Structure formats: C-alpha cells, structure tokens
Amino acid sequence: MITKEQHKFSRLEKVIGKDNLNRIKNKSVLILGCGGVGGYTCEALSRSGIGTLILVDFDKVDESNINRQIIALDSTIGKLKVDVLENRIKDINKNCKVIKIDKFIDEANIDELFNYEIDYLVDACDYVPTKKAIIKECLKRKIKFISCMGTGNKLDPSKLEITDLKKTVNDPLARIMRKFIKDEKITSKITVLSSTEVPIKTGESTPGSTAFVPSSAGLLIASYIIKELIK
C-alpha cells in the first residue's frame, strides 16, 4: 500500500522538496523531435512529474531506430513516434497531460507550436532550417529553450556538455549554427547540448549512432530543464 510519504515521485521529492515537485507538476515542456535524444528527454521528464508534455514529430518508428531510441521496439515499428511515446508516458504517469503534433515543422508552420503555453522548449530535431527558426522564434517570444547539437558519429557520452553555442567545438552542426547566429547578429546566449568529441569518420552521409550518446544527451537535457524550472 502506498502511504502519503511513499508515492511514485517520493524519491525525487526527497531531493528537491515538496514545493518544487508541485511546481514541476504545473509546468509544460515542448519536445521537438522524439527520437534518440527527445525520447529520453521525455522519459526523464515524465518520471520527474512534469505536468504537460507537448510532443512534436511526424515520423514513424523504423527498425534502424532500435539501437538508440527508447520507443523503438520490434512491436512499435511502423507506429507514429508521438503515439508510442504518449502510451509510454501515460504508463509512467497517467496524470501527465500529453499534447501531440504529428507534423513536420519548418518555417512555414512553426507558429503552430506556440498555440500552447510553453515553460521550456527542447529542440531535438535534426533539420537545420527548423533549428534556426526555433532560435529566432523563442528569442522573439521570450521562451526558454535548449537546442541539441550533433550526437551522431560520437562514441563517448562523457564528452557531452551543456554550454553556450559560441563555446562549442568539434561539432559540425554547431559550426553551422554558430555561423547562423553570427550572420543574424544574434548576441543572446544560446544554450545548447554539444559534444567536444571529434566525430568518427565513417565515410557515409548518414551518421552512425550508439545506444549511449543520444540517451545521455536526452537525460542531461532533462536534468538541466528540471533544475531550471525549480530555480
């Protein structure tokens, strides 16, 4: 029997306190991209009692996702990622409100994301024009966000860090984004998750990936957001 002191978030409550746990229960986080990084971010946030998760992804689970995505199983191949992730979140915390946007988001329809109240936004997508648009929109709307840079062709999760975009090294995607903010004369600090590891050369255009780098990135992002929300 679960007592008043012993509930599904009681161990977290011991660390952050009851007031902060209640604060988290009233917060909303949008996850753009529900794959390797975004899936693990959702996993940790749902296990931390977050009140609302807005899931944004147009893709379906593919067999090639199984090596790194928490929602990818033989039984989920071919299903919409947002549907699979919703079922998982509800099985963890039925009180978490889940909003699904199963669309490809680009500059043309990005405004749709902001029809909802958002306390924090996670950019875990890999489409560069959308990443650029997210930065501009979040800065314009004064919405807190964190953008994930490249986790492909990386082997060492200990090289991951949360930092200012301007301080990133050895990250080809971050290099593109640094040029973007320079060209756009964006001087605000852009918080990103990036790896300092030199990418492994595979000789192929599609990046390789592991079970432990994207997952670690997602967990680090979730940890960062929870700490930000209870400041």
Work out the average pLDDT over 46-60.
98
Q: For 180-215, how does the pLDDT look when each residue is reduced to its tens digit (9 = 90+)?
A: 999 999 999 999 999 999 999 999 989 999 999 999
* Structural domains in the chain plus CATH codes: 17-148+208-229 (3.40.50.720)
Report the candidate in 43, 100, 30 with the shortest Cα–Cα distance to residue 71: 43
- CA distances (Å), origin 145, targets 40, 118, 193, 228: 17, 10, 11, 10
**HEC sequence for the chain:** CCCCCCCCCHHHHHHHCHHHHHHHHCCEEEEECCCHHHHHHHHHHHCCCCCEEEEECCCECCHHHCCCCCCCCHHHCCCEHHHHHHHHHHHHCCCCEEEEECCCCCCCCHHHHHHCCCCEEEECCCCHHHHHHHHHHHHHHCCCEEEECCCCCCCCHHHEEEEEHHHCCCCHHHHHHHHHHHHCCCCCCCEEEEECCCCCCCCCCCCCCCCCHHHHHHHHHHHHHHHHHCC
With 60 as the cut, is the pLDDT of residue 4 above it?
no
Q: Six-digit token pair at 160?
A: 């991951």
Q: For 25-50, how does the pLDDT look when each residue is reduced to its tens digit (9 = 90+)?
A: 999 999 999 999 999 999 999 999 99
Q: For 109-157, how does the pLDDT look when each residue is reduced to its tens digit (9 = 90+)?
A: 999 999 999 999 999 999 999 999 999 999 999 999 999 999 999 999 9
In this prediction, residue 158 carries a pLDDT of 98
pLDDT band at 6 (very low <50, low <70, confident <90, very high): confident
pTM over 0.85: yes
